[in-house]
A = this chain, B = another copy of it.
Amino acid sequence: MSRKTNRTVYLNGEYLPEGEAKVSIFDRGFLMADGVYEVTSVLGGKLLDFDGHAVRLERSLGELDMAAPISKEDLLEGHRELVRLNDINDGMIYLQITRGAPDDRDFVFPDPNETPSTIVLFTQNKPGMADSPVAKVGLKVISIEDQRWGRRDIKTVQLLYPSMGKMMAKAAGVDDAWLVEDGVVTEGTSNNAYIVKGGKIITRHLSNEILHGITRKAVLRFAREAQMEVEERAFTIEEAQGADEAFITSASTFVMPVVEVDGAAVGTGTPGPVAARLREIYLEESRKAAI
C-alpha cells in the first residue's frame, strides 16, 4: 500500500505509477480545499454500492457549482480498471474531484471552460477487510466538540478537523471520536453514529449537519426490511452511555460496534446483537448487489 509498492493510480484520464501522479501547486484542491471525494469499498473484486456513491458525488458537485467532469460510465470503468491493474480483491477506491488548476490563485471560481477539473482515483488494498477482528471487539470512542463547517452534507476534502479528531482519540487511547454540537451527537469523524435502546435503532436525521452516508442509507433500509424499529433523531452522549448498544457505519467499516463512549461501557461493554446482525445483513446484501 505504500508508495514503495507502486500502485497504479488514475489522474485525469491516465493510468500512472503512484510516484508520478502529481498535481499543480495551483490546483484548487491544494490551495483552497475546493474539491469533493468518495470512497467505495471492494469485496471479492467487486464494487459495493457504486451507484450510491456516484449519485452522492453528483450531488456534492452540484452543491459547489462544479460540473461533473466524467460520466458515470467512465467513472465505473476507471474504478474497475484500477481494481484489475492493482489486483484488488478486498479494499477501497478513493475518488477525488477538484475545481482544477487555474493560472493563478483567486477566491473567484475559474471559468470551467478554461480550467478543467482534476480527477484522481487510487486504490487501498485491505485483504480480508470484511472479516476485521475489530468487529468482534468493538470500538471505544470519546466525544469532542464538532468544530467543522456548516455543510457536512457536501463531501468535501476539508478534513482537517476530522483528522485532528482522530488524533485526539489516539491521544486519549481510544479508536475514534464522536462529534457533539449543541449538546447532541452529529456523527463520527468519518462515519455515522447510532445507538440501540429497547430494540430501537436511533440515528441522527439527515440535514446539512451530517454526511448523508451511503452505508447509512443501505443499513437503515435493511433494518426496516428486517422489521427493526428505526428512529431518526439526534441523541446525547449520556443517552449513548445508557443505551443497550452503539455502532457506526461507513463505506470502509460497514457496520462496526462501539462498546465504550467517554470511558463508560455501552450495554455489556461488548458488541451487541443488533450491530452484529446488521453487519451480517449489510455484508450479505452488499456482496449480492456488488458490480
Contacts and interface: CB of A to CB of B under 8 A. Distances in A.
B149 A189 contact: no
A288 interface: no
A30 B34 contact: no
A contact face: mostly helix, strand, loop, or mixed: mixed
Interface stretch (A47-55, A73-81, A105-113): A105-113
Nearest to A103: B2
Interface in A1-44: 1-4, 9, 11, 18-19, 21-35, 37
How many interface residues does chain A have, given as a range? 35 or more
A160 B163 contact: no
B167 A160 contact: no
Contacts of A217: none
A174 B122 CA distance: 41
Given A149-B149, A150-B145, A162 B30 contact: no
Interface stretch (A127-135, A151-159, A192-200, A271-279): A151-159
Nearest to A63: B164
Contacts of A158: 33, 149, 158, 160
Nearest to A21: B25
A170 B111 CA distance: 14
A96 interface: yes
Contacts of A29: 30
Contacts of A122: 25, 105
Contact of A161 (B19, B31, B104, B149): B149
Contacts of A64: 160, 164
Contact of A32 (B9, B32, B157): B157
